Amino acid sequence: MRFETKLAIAAMSAAALWASPAAAQATRTWVSGVGDDVNPCSRTAPCKTFAGAISKTAAGGEINCLDPGGFGTVTITKSMTIDCSGTFGSVLNSGGINGVVVNDSATATPGTIDVKLRGLSIDGAGTTPGLNGIRFVTGRSLIVEDVFIQNQKSGSGVSIQPTTNVEVYLTHVTVADGGTGVLVQPTGTGTALVTMRNVFAVNNSSNGVRVDSTGNTGTRNRITIYDSELSGNNTAGLNVNAFAGTAAAGVILSDSTVSGNGTGIIANGGFATVRVSDTTITGNTTGVSFANSSAIFSYGDNLLDANPDNVAPNNGAFTGAVIPKR
């Protein structure tokens, strides 16, 4: 073999060896409070931040927290799990920015990623509070479990404002001391199927949960809330707005408590419908309020009383009863 040929082969082999570590992505990566983002994010050489680890994690992979730490804000553009269960994983997003953003709009296949967030604390505390704790822009699905979100005073604890059709599942999630706890407001032709279980939306300056179809021309947004607490929110525990010409919004609220809010439940607009079952609505300035051909139906097993406490009652009344089929 000619010397020049051998030299060329050797050069190509060296280049391949050099490029391989940079291009490699692991299915599982690790972050640590004492890590470094120049590391490969392995368990023995962890990264410092979620943003540093995400580029080294394969699509469909998982980032885990090796030890307690604050791991910074992150934008997720591919299917991914971030799981800090068993330790303390924190995101601080003061300064009017988002904590975790899910957005695959710039990829070749927008509206297709599946993201899971588990075992996180997201705090917007600071001179300029956080914007949104979690913001879902585009993707296919988002699962949030065992997450505590607070001080998102400039926006929402969880902002679900997709341009695509999405599914969102919130389980054991607390959203406190922010603007709105959970905002569901798809844009364009996007729609949202949202299920909340054991969600505590408390002490927010606006709404506990707000569903809003303004500017949305999708088909129908469906939200189910059960085993949850919507309390201490200045405007309303649950606020649903859907007017003619926008996407319909149907909400089922079950086995929950709505107390200490400005209004317990608000519905506004002819395409807004709320159905309530086995829920206590008490201690609010106003119990329930509906306007502009909206409806708040009761399954007949709710407690609507003492709104507010110790003064002339302002309970309001349900639009009518839902008679379950037997």
Query: pLDDT per residue over 121-167, tens digit each?
Result: 999 999 999 999 999 999 999 999 999 999 999 999 999 999 999 99
* pLDDT in the model for residue 4: 52
For residue 185, count CB atoms less than 10 angstroms from its CB and return exposed for 0-12, middle for 13-18, buried for 19 or more: buried
Tell me the C-alpha to C-alpha distance, in Å, between residue 310 and each of 258, 281, 285, 289. Answer: 17, 15, 11, 20
* pLDDT in the model for residue 239: 98
* pLDDT in the model for residue 321: 87
Average pLDDT over residues 188-207: 97
HSE (side-chain half, CA atoms, 13 Å) at 297 = 12
* Residues forming a β-bridge with 259: 231, 282
Distance of CA 184 to the CA centre of its chain: 9
Query: pLDDT per residue over 36-85, tens digit each?
Result: 999 999 999 999 999 999 999 999 999 999 999 999 999 999 999 999 99
Is the pLDDT reported for residue 177 higher than 80?
A: yes
Average pLDDT over residues 174-194: 97
What the block records as the tokens of 257 is 């408590």
* pLDDT in the model for residue 195: 98
pTM metric for this prediction: 0.91
Tell me the DSSP string of 103-119.
E-TTSSSTT--EEEEEE
Domain boundaries, the chain: 67-321
Separation between Cα atoms, residue 32 and residue 205, nearest integer Å: 34
Residue 17 vs residue 303, higher pLDDT: 303
Residue 3 vs residue 276, higher pLDDT: 276
Cβ burial 247-265 (10 Å sphere, 16+ → b, else e) = bbbbbbbbebbbbbbbbbb
First and final CA of the chain: distance in angstroms? 86
130 contacts 94 by C-beta, under 8 angstroms:
yes
Separation between Cα atoms, residue 274 and residue 252, nearest integer Å: 6
**pLDDT-based confidence at residue 23 (cuts at 50, 70, 90):** low
Task: Report percent pLDDT > 90 for the chain.
Answer: 89
